[in-house]
Amino acid sequence: MRIAIVGGKGTLGGHVTAELARRGHDVRVLSRSGEYHVDLSTGDGLADALQDCDAVVDASNASSPKRAQAVLVEGSGRLLAAEAVAGVAHHVCISIVGCDQVPVGYYKVKVGQERVVEQGSTPWSIIQATQFHELAASALAAAARFLVLPVPGMKLQTVAAAEVAGAVADVTEGAPARGRIRVAGPQIMTAAEVARTWRAVTGRRALLMPVPVPGRLGRALRSGGLTVSRPDICGNISFADWLASQPQDGAAGSAGPGAKAQG
């Protein structure tokens, strides 16, 4: 298949690109700095980049809610319009487990993105993933520079981006699900357990600092709004094992490529 991967050099997109290429597909990396230059916030380059593509994986991202609205919601509209012209048969959207449960600006944008995809004319699949190990590690590494690890009362179920990429590749090769596929990590942990694990494996010193999260947001996070007890696809690599496999001055020990991203 010829598959376009928007954001194909990002934290997840890089793994998706590698996995689909390994499986023998003809992959095109689309982004502002990709081999196919596109900008979802304007639509530049999409028409040419999507010519003759069978499927599109949208692994783009943006950090601020305003940019995210332009890239993920309005950008999905632009992407789907270009797909309709190019005759793309399958649009694969990457979203987040529980984005409709947890009242955070970025997650509201993700819900908006899902809605645009559901209403688009290209047959679709939505893969909802939990937070990547990469995101947790880079957030903790950034905080540890100040010798503290802020730990809100919340549950997490982080997963290796490489394992999510395997699921994305499987879904992309298959028929459009016209539904959601939830991919999650092997363990549900509190944020404090994640922080202690990070400290133990990296050997870094930092004090855990509980952060109260009041109101509806706090309740949603504490009750596991970002986790799923029975995911459709469950990763095998624990946060501790993933961390131990990373160079400690690389993704696990400093802000990695997804450092400013959200998920």
Ligand X SMILES: NC(=O)c1ccc[n+]([C@@H]2O[C@H](COP(=O)([O-])OP(=O)(O)OC[C@H]3O[C@@H](n4cnc5c(N)ncnc54)[C@H](OP(=O)(O)O)[C@@H]3O)[C@@H](O)[C@H]2O)c1
Q: Which residues bind ligand X (CB under 6 A)?
A: 6-7, 9-13, 31-34, 38-41, 59-62, 71, 94, 96, 110, 129, 131-132, 135, 257-258, 261, 263
CB 227 within 8 A of CB 188: yes
Nearest CB to ligand X, comparing residues 132 and 239: 132
What is the per-residue burial (b if ≥16 Cβ within 10 Å, else e) of 40-74? bbebebbeebbeebbbbbbbbbbeeeeebbbbbbb
Q: Strand order in 90-96's β-sheet?
A: 36-37, 26-31, 2-6, 55-58, 90-96, 124-129, 180-184, 233-234
Q: Minimum distance between the CB of residue 99 and ligand X, rounded to whole angstroms?
A: 8
- Beta carbon of residue 62, minimum distance to ligand X (angstroms, whole number): 5
- Indicate the residue among 32 and 203 with the shorter CB distance to ligand X: 32
Phi, psi of 21 (to 5 degrees): -65, -40
Closest Cα partner for 132 from 157, 150, 105, 153? Answer: 157
Q: Measured from the CB atom, is 68 or 149 closer to ligand X?
A: 68
Give CA separation, 196 vs 149, 167, 211, in Å.
9, 29, 15
Q: How far is the CB of 58 from ligand X (least distance, A)?
A: 7
Nearer to ligand X, 132 or 198 (CB): 132
| CB 259 to ligand X: min, Å | 9
Least distance (Å) from ligand X to the CB of residue 5?
9
Closest to ligand X by CB, 105 vs 147, is: 105
**Furthest-apart CA atoms within the chain: distance in Å:** 54
Q: Given the complex with ligand X, which of 51 and 63 has the nearer CB atom?
A: 63
Q: How far apart are CA 26 and CA 21, in angstroms?
A: 7
Please, what is the minimum distance in Å from the beta carbon of residue 205 to ligand X? 25
